[in-house]
Amino acid sequence: MTALPPRIGAVATAVPPFRLGQREIAAQAAVLFDGRVADFARYRTAFANAAIATRHSCVPAEWYAAPHSFAERNDLFIEHATALLAEAADATLARAGLRHQDVDMLVVASTTGIATPSLDARLLEVRPFRRDVERMPLFGLGCAGGVGGLARTARLARSEPGALALLLVVELCGLTFRLADSSKSNVIATALFGDGAAGVLLGTGLDGPAVVASGEWTWEDSLDVMGWQVGDDGLGVLFSRDIPTLVRTLLRAAAEHTLGRHGLSLAVIDGHICHPGGAKVIDALEAVYDLAPGAMTHARNVLRDYGNMSASTVLFVLAAAMAGGLAGRHLMSAIGPGFTASFAVLEAG
């Protein structure tokens, strides 16, 4: 007897209260970086070219103008990540007409802070999940955590037919900004990243798009493409300027390999739900998947309104796609540290 595929019963998103305009951020960055970062004038165009209008932050704009220790940042991460996860969980379950006590499996993904006890354990103290809920914290997947987390949660749901599995993803990228870091990566990150959380409810007995396949590809000798540089003042972002080029040259083969393992190919994919890492990355993704320029409307809109929220972002794109009426077979994809591409295939009626 063939096991039933897990289906997505609900998707919901949540953002922290401080809404920052890109012009406001660019003006503040000029004050903080000009005269301290070599050739900062060359980087100022990154704010205008990022195709971002607004982002959300768990701390007010003035917080970024002062130095902060790793300990202070991480305390803020635990406080605000837990609160935002609770909001995302509430919204996801409400959308499905279910209670916290109905959840059998809880998966929480995040890479922008450290928590032991993990965030999922802390969530149990502020929301009435059952005490026998199975928990799985995921750390280190970075921007790939939305798709990778969805794939792992789907496997859990498939392993126990009828069980309900809740994936929650939260990233507070703003807390990783380091005032004393004059690297190009830190400046570019200031132009890109925001805070946000999302939830996805999966189960074999739910109605919604089915997760019918998933997979990953990690390239060799690529550990320096994305990641953290840990310092006394926090987690410093590390990413290569070549990421759009790497997407253009490497991603298609990885996608074909993953699809081929499941007897599929890009030719049978009707649409794409991708992590919008940045405007140039979206351009590269459209080229890789043979789409017309500007075709990834949902990805571009999410990037415009929220910025790059690391792992959470692709679930915002998923929420937008489902709200617009998802039909056919869609490939979800995201890239993250490793250097790794994560994929999931959805089938909607």
List active site positions.
143
8 A C-beta contact, residue 212 and residue 221:
no
Contact 233, 239 (CB under 8 A): no
Half-sphere exposure of 170 (CA within 13 A, CB side): 31
Of 232, 234, 120, 117, which Cα lies nearest the Cα of 172?
234
The answer for 2, left when phi > 0, alpha when psi is -120 to 50, beta otherwise, is beta
Are 211 and 202 a contacting pair, CB within 8 Å? yes
- Per DSSP, which regions of the chain are E strands? 7-14, 18-21, 54-57, 105-109, 134-138, 165-172, 195-203, 210-218, 226-231, 234-239, 271-274, 328-336, 340-348
Residue 12 and residue 346: Cα distance in Å, rounded?
17
Instruction: State whether residue 167 is helix, strand or coil.
Output: strand
Contact assessment for residue 15 and residue 87, using Cβ atoms and an 8 Å cutoff: no
Contact by Cβ (8 Å): 336, 143: yes
Residues 98/157, Cβ–Cβ less than 8 Å: no
- Looking up tokens 């704009």 gives 61
Distances (CA, A) of 55 to 13, 190, 201, 237: 14, 11, 25, 18
Distance CA 288, CA 293 (A): 11
The H helix count followed by the E strand count for the chain is 11, 13
- Beta carbons of 59 and 175 less than 8 angstroms apart: yes
What token pair was written down for 276? 């919008």
